[in-house]
Amino acid sequence: MPALDLTATSADLTRTICDIPSVSGDETTLADLIFAEVSALPHLEVYRDGDTIVARTTQGRAQRVAIAGHIDTVPINGNVPTRDIEIDGEPFIWGRGTVDMKGGVAVQLKLAAELVAPRVDITWMWYDHEEVDADLNGLTRLARTRPDLFAADFAILGEPSNGEVEGGCNGNLRAIVRTHGVRSHSARAWIGQNAIHSAAPVLARLAEYRPRDVPVEGLVYREGLNAVRISGGVAGNVIPDLCEIEVNYRFAPSRDAAEAEQHMRDVFAGFDVEIVDLAVGARPGLDAPLAQEFVAAVGAEPRPKYGWTDVARFSALGVPAVNYGPGDPHLAHHDEERVPVGQIDAVERGLRAWLSGS
């Protein structure tokens, strides 16, 4: 397994770390390499919790910025190793993780090595298990064991944002809506009650649902309510007595957890609804002085983040946070995932200039 060369370009680092498979649950090899490299840097104080690595400058600056990125990816589907491609004459790096979010991680690793005396103290975080259930997330674990490491005046998540600043994020709720019936032989269907047929009103409500566009502190968040999985059936000759529809609700950061859950129960009133996962969003946080300095320094026009990201974890701790990283979020998890080399370079320049005060 190759060592990580933190003197390489951010683009070359992206290629290297993308070629090291790190699907959620299999991050140890990459985590070991990151830990070995940053532990050798004398200007950083390094802490490891499982496959999450934290490296901090301790310059005694008046302000501290946390900069985080996850090292796991969704499953590989024939898109590793990476390869270089061109689209309309523009160079891209193609492959799993290039967008979500190893391009951002590469920039963070390079700057962590080179910014020996930044104008603010920096807490660098590289963490595991972001792409799976929230209770497995490395930052969830770290918040329990070392909440002091989250102390900061401002936070940046290197999630893909096309090199623009995306403030806050939508919340994310998953629910199971169940319909019940009575089993019988399919030759005598009238004896039973078909739970799959009873799911038709649930699907109708979803088809008729019109999601909101919600202004929050100057940014407009788009909500969404969608069926993402449906299951039911016992055997080819049995009328099913249970059908389950998994519904995903993306809700604006103006709603809290209780409001999001109540909305789901209102939409599916009369049905059996179980909430199985719920993570509140994060308000934009762009009114914080450091956030305003950062936006001005990188010359970006703030936009809303429609997906859920770990900015919400920082926001819940009172730390304003934004998303800023290379890559088109529409290509996250896509089999044609690819990142423009120019965006990697631009994000590195923007962060370097702001953090160094140059």
Tell me which residues are annotated as active site: 72, 130
One-character DSSP codes across 304-352: E--S--THHHHHHTT--EEEE-SS-GGGTT-TT-EEEHHHHHHHHHHHH
162 close to 331: Cβ distance less than 8 angstroms: no
Classified as helix, coil or strand, 165 is strand
Q: What are phi and psi of 134, to 5 degrees?
A: -60, -30
Cα separation, 344 vs 162, in Å, equals: 9
Alpha helix ranges (H) inside the chain: 10-18, 28-39, 103-114, 138-145, 200-208, 257-267, 289-298, 311-316, 341-356
- Tally of residues, the chain: 358
Cα separation, 103 vs 87, in Å, equals: 18
Residue 301: Cβ within 10 Å count: 7
Residue 246: enclosing H or E segment and its boundaries? strand 242-251
Classified as helix, coil or strand, 243 is strand
Residue 27: Cβ within 10 Å count: 26
Beta bridge partners of 73: 23
- Strand pairing of 52-56 and 338-340? unpaired
Cα separation, 312 vs 324, in Å, equals: 14
